[in-house]
Structure 1
Amino acid sequence: MDIICSNCSSKFRIPDEKIPAGRLTTLPCPKCKTRISLDPAKKTAASTAARGGTTYDTSDKPFDFMEEEGLTALLCEQNPIARKTIETALSLMDYQITIAESARDALKRMRYHAYDLIVVDENFDTKNPDANGVLIYLERLQMSVRRNIFVAMISSRYRTMDNMMAFHASANLIVNIKNIEDIGKILGRGITDTELFYRIYKEALKESG
């Protein structure tokens, strides 16, 4: 399918076999990150925007097709038992889940999609939990972007809901691996608390002008 972004007029092509059949899906423009809707019934996803612009090679771009208005989660966990437990919990919470195979894979995926939730093990693709590539990337994000992502870190060193260590690790929440069976409940509470905090924060900003 040939695609043209209505915002920046960039053109790129995605193999038809990578596009889910039978439903409307979306993806971010590789250049400007504007969400583009794809209709598999059409041969070309285009707009009334100018037809000029740069053509992108999408062969190395990890396009994740998301249903309209769906919550998305990136899972960075290499322990197969823990990964399965987390994946099941996220599915019950109605998240569309992307599983990263490595830190490099995770970074590439985050570059092209802003996830609502990222669950990352402190030891994901590293022998040194203090040099976790995914967490370092998240720490360096602009605050305007970072505050829209809920980051849960799976840890064997810190206790569940340790807010001080979560702050130190640039995460919103810590889940100790011993409590992994309850991760659904723990995430639900953590996300609710964070949403309440930012609601109050945004209201205060609005009142202050």
Structure 2
Amino acid sequence: MGTRYSKKAEISPRAIRGRSHFDRSKRRTLGVRERVLATANDLFFSEGIHETGINKLIDQAGVAKASFYSAFPSKDDLVEACLESRHKASLERLRSIEIQATSLESKISDVFDLLLEAASKSTFRGCAFVVAAIEQHGRNLPAPRWVRIHKVAVRDAFVRMLTSAGIKPAKEIAEQLSILYDGSLVTAAFRPKSGAIQRARLMAISLIRDSSPTH
């Protein structure tokens, strides 16, 4: 069972001063669960899971405390739901690239464009799954499990792209692409001006060109 929130938690001065990055006008059109998820997705990955308290989440989401606990009895339940929603959204974007992009090079380039988009945000701290797993390093906590699920899914997306283009060995090259993918996110987080994602994209395209059957 996840760690329970303390219902007596006080709102910190930082929480009072802070502003949610989530659009409040859009929030009003959502149900309680969706409001909390949207707010937690914003705060957990911009300020940190441990730094985000119950009162701040309730305040920013604009929900009653009883409704909050009814939707998410524990903080681990909320972290689990946030990571699952991020995972599904990420896979949808990857699947869209698989379907819409015409060539393998275009697909790979578009994947790294997704990383560039993420890294351009002021709240970017690296891969959200890795950041969450670092904060939640316990064996039975949701983040370490979801980071494994997500990374395998990204690798499998690369495998499908490579296989459809006739690139072999698809699994081995997909592993190499995954290393470029993950490594560029880490470098971009700590060295934002390094051009890591752009360089990783060029390396990825060079890799698939060298592996092309017509090369």
The alignment's TM-score, normalised by the length of structure 1, stands at 0.32
Bigger relative contact order, structure 1 or 2 (CA pairs below 8 A, ≥6 apart): 2
Higher strand share: 1
Higher helix residue share: 2
